[in-house]
Each structure stands twice: as structure tokens, then as C-alpha cells.
Amino acid sequence: MPGEERERLLNFRAGADEAGLRLDVVLHGHLEGTSRTAAKELITRGCVHVNGALAKPALKLAEGDDVEARVVRPAAVEGLAKQDLPFRVIHEDASIIVIDKPAGLTVHPGSGQHDGTLANALAFRFDELSDAGGPERLGIVHRLDKDTSGVMVVARTNRAHYAIAAQFQARTTAKEYLALVEGRVDTDGGKIDLPLARSRRDRERVVVDREEGKPAETRWEVLERFPGFTLLRCRPRTGRTHQIRVHLASLGHPIACDGTYGRRAALLHRDLGGMGTGVVLARQALHAARLSFVHPFDGRLREFMAPLPSDFKTALDLLGNAREAVERTEHGQR
């Protein structure tokens, strides 16, 4: 049944040929049918011990090290349950599918979630998807956070998967996001260059870490200013987890409705200058608006766009009305 978990213990001793290799690389080699990313997730979730102690994915093994892994795999993931979940297809051909991911949809099964993901929905709708990322991530080349909406590319073949993944790794893709942030941003634009790492205290959070963090760069510019809020265009050069969210929070302007890094989890009509207490936006106001990359089959540069979803657009409309009301008041006082 979907959601049922199967657990087994894996024990092995590192051999001479594995000495000096990273733990996640070696573990991946001992787990048939599992991607390296999935092996890494087992380690970060605290399911792997080396010589009786918890270890990090980058730990270099020595010959004779004892490794014990508690492998938990949901039954639904092993067969990737096909589920009819809504998402819009922007483009489809023999190599790729470009979609508009709705907010609230997790990209693939992982810690604590076994189905109800974009991967399950893709498996339902398409017969041919890349399995280069492992059986639980059919077609998935890159990710958006669960509550981030917008454009994503999905691979139908392994050749397409490797070609597009290489572009993301080489940072030759172009990504553009729209973000509604708290407060008035007075500077018209800038660049945030701050290294990021998982929080040592809370593995669900990402923090600026100048000592052990990985390089992360986000360029941004102001598109519109509203009473109490600013709309930004963000172009991340790197693709770290939660990158835009953490970088903008570091400026003192967290993304609106970001319950993890921001000031509040939802915006009501009255928060946006409207009447009433109804909820307008209840997820982070971050939308992947554009994505461009070289098509893996014909070699042409392609650009795809996803329109703003209704909740985001309604919030901007209300803020626009509030701005006009302020401007009318100021004009009448002159």
C-alpha cells in the first residue's frame, strides 16, 4: 500500500578499493537501484553509522571501516505509484517536457513523503521518462521547493537528462524568479554573494555559513514598490537549496509568506490594503517565471515561461490598488 515502509539493515566493511572515497559514493555502490542523492539523504537523515558513530556524506572512508545503514524505502517509491495530480504542460517533445509546477506540490518522494509528488504525477501522465536520477525521481533533473511555483524541465530520455543536468552544473542555464518581499527595498538592484550550508541545529533550514558553506550567488533588481512590500526579479547563478529565500532574508527583506525564513506565514486582504480578513497568499511568494537552456536534441537555445499563479497575481493587484490609494491621498494633500 502507498505509504507503507520497508526497512532493512545493510552492513559492510570498507575494502581497500574503497579507502579514501566519500561515504555517500561508497554507500551508493552498495545500494542497488538507488541514486547517489538517495544514498546521501539516508546519511543526512541519520540512518548511517560508521564505526558506531553518525557520519557525514563527505566522510572519507578508511579500509576496514564498519558501515551500518538503516535503509528505509517506501513501497510506493519502489514502484513509483502513478497518481493523477494537476499540473500544466508548457511544452512537450520526444526529449523533454516543460511544466508549470503549482505551489504545494513536492517534486519527488523523500523524507516523510512517499507519494503525492510531481514524480508520481509524471509517471501517471507519461510512459517514457528518464530514470537517470533513480526509480523514485523519474524524469526529475532539477527541483523547486514545494511551495514555489513555476517552470521546470523534465527529461524523457537519459541522454536528455545528462545533457540538461550538465548545463545546470556548468551554470549555463538562465533562471529568472519573481519574489514579493517584505518592506521597501530602496536600492534598485544588486548582487548577493554569500555561501550557504545546512543548519547544524535544524537540518530543514539553510543558513549563511562563511566557513563551510558552498558558494551561492543571486542577482536581483526591483520591479515595483508597494506600501510595505517590493517585487523583485531574481537571477540565481547557482542553485543551492533555499538559495533565493535565504539570500533575500539576509538583506532584511524576507520573501512574503515564507514561514521558515520570514515574518509571517500568510497574507490577508487587510495586510495588502484590502478589506476583510480572508487569506490571499499562504505560501512563499516566489515564482520561477523563466528558464532557458540548450535543447539536448537540436542544440538550440530555448526559453520557457510560466505565468503568475492566481494567488500571487491577486496579492499584486491588491497591493497595486493600495499604492494608488496612497498616491491619491498624497496628491490631494498637496
- d(CA 273, CA 270) in angstroms, rounded, equals 5
- Whether 145 is a known active-site residue: answer yes
Q: What is the pLDDT of residue 39?
A: 78
190 and 144 assigned to the same domain: no
Quick: pLDDT tens for 166-208.
999 999 999 999 999 999 999 999 999 999 999 988 888 999 9
Q: In this predicted model, what pLDDT tens digit does every residue of 8-51 receive, in sequence order?
A: 788 999 998 889 999 988 998 887 655 676 778 788 777 899 99
- What is the greatest pairwise CA distance in the chain? 82
**Same-domain check for residues 313 and 214:** yes
- The reported pTM is 0.76
Q: State whether residue 108 is helix, strand or coil.
A: coil
Is 140 contained in some domain?
yes
Phi and psi angles of residue 304, each rounded to the nearest 5 degrees, phi first? -130, 145
Cα 241 to Cα 234: distance, rounded to the nearest angstrom: 15
Counting Cα atoms < 13 Å in the Cβ hemisphere of 16 gives 0
Closest CA to 186 of 217, 221, 153: 221
CATH number of the domain enclosing 149:
3.30.2350.10
Question: 92 and 213: one domain?
Answer: no
Length of the chain: 334
Final residue in a domain of this structure, among 36, 57, 79 = 79
Half-sphere exposure (Cβ direction) of 143: Cα atoms closer than 13 Å = 19
Specify the DSSP element, H or E, that contains 44.
helix 36-44
Domain count, the chain: 3
Indicate the pLDDT class of residue 330, thresholds 50, 70 and 90: confident
Last residue of a domain, one of 170, 193, 208: 170
Active-site annotation holder among 24, 65, 100, 145 = 145
pLDDT digit string (tens) for 93-142? 999 999 999 999 999 987 667 789 999 999 999 988 998 888 888 999 99
- Burial bucket for residue 150 (CB in 10 Å: 0-12, 13-18, 19+): buried
- DSSP class per residue in 276-288: S--EEE-S--EEE
Per-residue pLDDT at 78: 47
Among 131, 154, 170, where does a domain finish?
Answer: 170
Instruction: Please name the amino acid found at residue 254.
Output: P
Could you write out the DSSP letters of every residue in 234-254?
Answer: EEESS--TTHHHHHHHHTT-P
- 58 in a domain, yes or no? yes
For residue range 57-96, what is the model confidence (pLDDT) as tens digits? 899 999 999 999 887 654 444 467 889 999 999 999 999 9
The H-or-E segment that residue 192 falls in is: strand 189-193
